[in-house]
Amino acid sequence: MLLAAGAPLCPLLILSALYGGVLAADHVPVLLWSTHSALWDMPTPTHGGHITSRHELQTLLQPVLCQTPTNLVVFLQDTLSVDDFTYLSATSGQEKPYPHLQDLLNSSASSLVLPAVDWKAISDLVGFLEKQEDWHQVDVGKSDEVDFKTSDSKPNFMIVKLLSRIRDSDASAGGSFNENDKKIEKLTNIMRERGIEFTAIYSALRPSKIHRTAGMTSETRRRLLSTDRIQTVPYPPLNVTNGTETCIIFYATNLTLTVNESVQLDLTHQTFVSHVVDTSSSKCSEFNTTFSLKYYNLTKEINTLEIRFAMSNQFYPGSARNWFTLDSVQILQDARLPGALFRIPYASSPAEYSFHCQLVGTSQLYDAVLIPTNAEAKAWNVHISQFQIQGFNVKDSLFSYSTDCTGFFSAAIWMALVSSFVLLWILAYGIYMLMNLTTNDKFDDPKGHPLSVGQGE
């Protein structure tokens, strides 16, 4: 069973509550989260009770290894089971099991929960990953010291050995898990503060065994019913102020650029989560607004990258109101002018509203297409999903009602209308032909004289 981002640990709670006796004889849970977006958007559905094999786990890790930069953190403890997320965490007095880990899964750009993975696949996981890249390996060890140095020239591979589970009592075991939860949060926050793009994996080398009692089962079911529903909003929009008030709001679930069809730049996390983007070059006015996103040291070849959205606000006599239009998008690499310039036809909205489009980019299949206007623009591919922007009349730092880029008559609607008209025409023609059928005015009677018809008739 694969569980994507949203409310990652709730399915684990349900899965744990349904089993009885001794659990996790041959499998362990695996939790993954990443600052890279859209890694596991559409996991392959499997039946309940499915145990992920070594090959399936390695296949799920391939999108991680294809990211640039590739920084991988593996949190390992000696034993772990699905029950550890419910029964042992109940002894700590926390309303939610693993509160820090839940927050990390929900706030990450991508996350995935595998409730049951063959424990032998985890035993071979470190060896498999070491063969995939020329890593700069960092072994944090079991101490509480999390000060470490990463390499800028090589992908970093960090192995974090967490505290072993103390088996004296449930209270001591729950305490060790809480310490591991805090250590995972501490190390992850340090990497986020340093602006390091990374993917983290949390699992164990062996499954643990937990013997349940009727009281434990009843208590866990009560806790399961009282668990609050986890919010699925990944991050808030990006706001730009003119010194006192918010004048630009921008949001997207995926912001990815590809240059020369080889270097892919996923800017989603830097823009909305870690906030390492520079928006100081943005300019707001009543009639013209420029929204600037500037990034630094993305790759060895790209020292600075700036994306500019040019918007204008004009009065149109035909509608007797002001409309704002998204006129162009400009990409400047290392401040080289004029850069890649794109125009966006039909990207407009009433000045009081925001503009929303599900897919914006250079593909002709998108709802709003970026059309290159110079030679430099042909080298760039742009993909923005769930795009929404407002550059005028922003109130209370919130989006106004949005105008969507999808027209009323989509391709499917046109196909349905044309098909309906063709069928109606065939039906009308058939009715017309039936209404114009005539019968003979004379009939031959076999018992009487033969019917004779004159030539004039």
Closest CA to 160 of 147, 174, 170, 169: 147
DSSP letter string over 70-126?
--EEEEEEEEE-GGGGTHHHHTTT-SSSSHHHHHHHHHSSEEEEEEEEEHHHHHTHH
Quick: pLDDT tens for 337-375.
888 999 988 888 888 899 998 889 988 888 888 999 998
**pLDDT at position 451:** 64
| Helix (H) / strand (E) containing 429 | helix 411-435
- Residue 295's alpha-carbon distances to 68, 81, 192, 267, 436, in angstroms, are 15, 41, 16, 9, 75
Across-strand partners of 111?
33
**pLDDT at position 290:** 92
Quick: pLDDT tens for 227-247.
444 444 568 899 998 878 889
In this structure, the number of other CB atoms found within 10 A of the CB of residue 390 comes to 29
Structure tokens at 225: 């019913």
Quick: pLDDT tens for 5-41.
444 445 444 444 444 444 445 788 888 888 887 676 5
Dist CA 82 CA 209 (whole Å): 10
84: which DSSP letter? G
Dist CA 29 CA 26 (whole Å): 11
Residue 328 DSSP SS3: strand
Dist CA 388 CA 70 (whole Å): 29
CA 167 to chain centre: 39
Contact 190, 146 (CB under 8 A): yes
Please, which residues have CB within 8 angstroms of residue 285's CB and are 6 or more apart in sequence?
Answer: none
pTM for the whole structure = 0.47
